Amino acid sequence: MKIFCGVFASIVTTVSCLAQPNLPAPEPADTIVIAVVLGKTITAKEKENLNGLIFGALLDKYSKEHDIAPTDDELDTFVRRTEEIEKREHARLERDRERLRKELKSTSISDRDRKEKESWLQNIESILKSKKEISAQADMNEEQARRVKLQVAQQFVRSWKINKSLHEKYGGRVIFQQAGVEPLDAYRHFVKEQEKKGAFRIIDKKYEASFWRYFINDSMHTFYPKDDGARFLKTPWWMMEKSAEE
């Protein structure tokens, strides 16, 4: 559906442009270049995504130069493990729901506890309802659901392999992130090296501090002990699940 909507929107935009020969002049921000990465300009209109545009382009280049790409086996493993995790999480939510229902039948709990349990139960009911709706949609189009899962797997596995490679090359500290651990010091060394090579340049210096903040401000991050960080990069979280079970 998203793909269809995107194509439809593109068609509507094209028709609209053809029907309006006198287009408004572009906003000034469209032409003000604030940075360049790998020969591509970044304008002031894109300032909110400056870090992503520069760092993403550099990582894409690195992955191509080092032939980093997920294998079919790695993608299948990610999909299988995340499905297993999802099933266990669903079962846990159902157990919590039944437990809360039983506890709420008691007349001995305080009003405060009752409100907290009712709120918790409501949240669980909402999550389970959403999961049921998503599952029903996936069942209606298994092929599309599979493609989506593989797209997610592609992003996670590729990111992990790039991070692992950067850490092996540059070393340094590793930080916690919801989507997976990141080799922060390796990121910084890599980006500085790319800047020296001329791979990117921030032309408008007022954006320079905000760009570097993520890479140099330790107070923003939670760091793992050295051995743990290296271990988590070597074995990603979806494979950690396998180790825990087996």
Tokens of 45: 């209109």
Distance CA 40, CA 42 (A): 7
Half-sphere exposure of 148 (CA within 13 A, CB side): 12
Give all strands of the β-sheet with 33-37 in edge-to-edge order: 40-43, 33-37, 200-202
Q: What is the pTM of this model?
A: 0.75
Half-sphere exposure of 81 (CA within 13 A, CB side): 21
- Digits of tens for pLDDT over the chain (246 positions)? 333 333 323 333 332 333 334 445 555 557 899 999 999 999 999 999 999 999 999 999 999 999 999 999 999 999 999 999 899 999 999 999 999 999 999 989 999 999 999 999 999 999 999 988 888 887 778 888 889 999 999 999 999 999 999 999 999 999 999 888 999 999 999 999 999 999 999 999 999 999 999 999 999 999 999 999 999 999 998 888 554 444
With CA atoms as reference, report the closest residue to 104 among 93, 92, 115.
Answer: 115
Domain boundaries, the chain: 72-245
